Structure 1
Amino acid sequence: MARIGTTDLDVLPLNLGGNVFGWTADEDASFAVLDAFAAAGGSFVDTADVYSEWVPGHEGGESEAVLGRWMGARGNRADVVIATKVGKLSTRRGTSRDVVRAAVEDSLKRLGTDYVDLYYAHEDDQETPLEETVVALGEVVAEGKARYVAASNFSPERLAEALRIADDLGVARFVALQPHYNLVHRDEYEGPLQELAVREGLGVLPYSSLASGFLTGKYRDGADAVDSPRAGSAGRYLDDRGRRVLAALDEVAAAHGTSVTAVSLAWLRVQPGVVAPIASARSVAQLPDLLAGATLALTDDEVVALSAAAS
């Protein structure tokens, strides 16, 4: 198990992505994935109010609603660590006090619960004074509607300022960070943001951990086309560097008798600050490789070789 920053939340080091629930995984498939994840010892599920507003006919909140119905059907709310977010839904845009207070109520209703474990500012709303955002999120914690608050898509400078404001005002500070980070997308996190997260004891929960599927090894020269809405995003990584990374992943996977997916997550899991990479499964068949990544132990030399291939 792994602890999220300075919290008392101990989780399997895999954060199950809920972005697919109600989108590429219908309700039955989502329930099956969640059941299998829980049966394997998983408890940490990531969602957001904006999932999946981008789908024609959707209005956002579909993922939260599916997760809420699953917990209601299983009666297991106390066993699930829920993270959700505010800030990107078109009808609840930004992180002003009014938006935060309305959005958290909406999320709680869809989730069928009276609290969430981790409540993120989904992005840095630079149109709202940072103090207003920090205070509003602090109120959510003070009122028991969230146990902890966190940040996603913040620059190191703005994240440091938010932490300072919270400390100065004596309100709940961010305990976790959700950055875009994986073996082929490193510059955004590594450096000042990583140093800040480690120094401040933030639990880092990277999204796009498998680079839109590229780090599963499915996207290669001459391979069959992959039927996925993310195929276009994944394909952009198939350059000389991407080929080096795949070759290094293949070598390590063969040495351990495991999948490229598991190796990719295992590399990410041991990076400074990282607690639990976020990865989604739209079917039960995709879940074992993700779970393997939560326990696979790479050697120091393998971690160095993978990092070098991606540099």
Structure 2
Amino acid sequence: MNYRRLGRSGLQVSELSIGSWVTYGNQVDAKAARESLAAAYDAGVNFFDNAEVYAGGQSETLMGDALKTLAWPRLNYIVSTKFFWGIDKGPNRHHTLNRKYLLDAIDHSLKRLQLDYVDLVYCHRPDPRTPIEETVWAMHDMIARGKALYWGTSEWSADEIRSAYDIAERHHLHKPVMEQPQYNLFHRQRVEKEYARLYEDIGLGLTTWSPLASGLLTGKYRDGVPQNSRAALKGYESMREELTHPEKNRAVGELAVIARELDASVGQLALAWILKNPHVSTVITGASRIEQIGENMKAAELATRLTPEIVEKIEQTVGDLAD
């Protein structure tokens, strides 16, 4: 496993990491969660991504129980959580980044995770109803109180990230270090164009999510929606149209040909392509089966074999289907 600096910080994260969205509490039970974390850790993964809202808090509980049982040295692994959506309805409980919510939410997440602190904490979405200055101060105080080490954003615009950074700079507060955007062969605009100036200007690091476009880039949806797949889960029906998109699945079929020439799967090819981007600190992968972890980890070696000519061929195959 290779390790990369998280933006301009000194923290080193494994270039491939594990996320719990959709899987923990939906497709993965306590035993499977523990086994998947152990398999990833043995492969060199040191970053495990979570969020308050995932499975209504159950994802954090499952991960916390697994980490307690595994009993790894705390310095050996990195855990994240994210806040915005909330778990309960009502004022100051959801869809907000105000100070009251944030400083309460971190305490509940730490209790579920059974940790004294999280390494990374994200503002899961921007909140237009709360002044960015209030949010920046709250995130700074979260770190100052020892409940998190670094903070960042997820799916914020470049202007919102820069505004938060400038406020922190002006008041000598802890600055946002990382952003967690969606990034894959079909979703590229924000990472490659909108954020382009931020990598050099403020040292922004990326912990990217949905590298396989929710499974589209594995090829599993080329013939419809398989039983027990993500798109077959209750509450995820809205994903089906995108995952069964005819032209995108045609492109996935062509990518599979390129992958076979490299003795790899199309999913491994898609992960390896992301790893070629030097601005990506870590690619967050998911797995509902322990075997998927080993398969995903092979992408690190594959990335070393992707020549500029192969990368160009991959991108030409996707062409205008990417946004």
**Could you state the TM-score of these two structures normalised by the residue count of structure 2?**
0.88
Letter in 2 for 1:307: E
Letter in 1 for 2:69: A
Structure 1 residue aligned with 2:53: 50
Q: Which runs of 5+ in 2 are unaligned?
A: none
Deviations 1:20-45 (A, max 9, x none): 21221011111111111111111110
Structure 1 residue aligned with 2:158: 156
Structure 2 residue aligned with 1:79: 76
Letter in 2 for 1:147: L
Structure 1 residue aligned with 2:229: 228
Equivalent positions of 1:160-199 (< 5 A) are: 160-199=162-201
Does the 8 A contact of 2:168 with 2:174 survive in 1? yes
The CA deviation at 1:102 is 0.3
Please give the alpha-carbon distance, in whole angstroms, between the structure 2 residues aligned to 1:273 and 1:42.
19
Residues 120 and 30 of structure 1: CA distance in aligned 2, closer, same or farther (over 3 Å): same
Q: Which runs of 5+ in 1 are unaligned?
A: 53-59
For 2:79, what is the secondary structure of its paired residue? strand
The CA deviation at 1:288 is 1.6
Does the 8 A contact of 1:85 with 1:121 survive in 2? yes
Please give the alpha-carbon distance, in whole angstroms, between the structure 2 residues aligned to 1:109 and 1:309.
47
Does the 8 A contact of 1:3 with 1:11 survive in 2? yes
Structure 2 residue aligned with 1:304: 312
For 2:195, what is the secondary structure of its paired residue? helix
Letter in 1 for 2:270: S
Please give the alpha-carbon distance, in whole angstroms, between the structure 2 residues aligned to 1:198 and 1:244.
37
Choose from 18, 25, 32 the match for 1:29.
Answer: 32
The CA deviation at 1:14 is 1.0
Residues 223 and 107 of structure 1: CA distance in aligned 2, closer, same or farther (over 3 Å): closer
Does the 8 A contact of 1:184 with 1:310 survive in 2? yes
Runs of 4+ aligned structure 1 residues displaced above 3 Å come to 237-241
Deviations 1:40-80 (A, max 9, x none): 1111100000011xxxxxxx211111111111111113321
Please give the alpha-carbon distance, in whole angstroms, between the structure 2 residues aligned to 1:214 and 1:275.
23
Does the 8 A contact of 2:40 with 2:293 survive in 1? yes
Choose from 85, 89, 112 the match for 1:88.
Answer: 85
Q: Indicate yes or no: 2:19 matched with 1:13.
A: no
Does the 8 A contact of 2:57 with 2:87 survive in 1? no
Does the 8 A contact of 2:214 with 2:230 survive in 1? no
Identity %, equivalent residues = 34
Structure 2 residue aligned with 1:68: 64
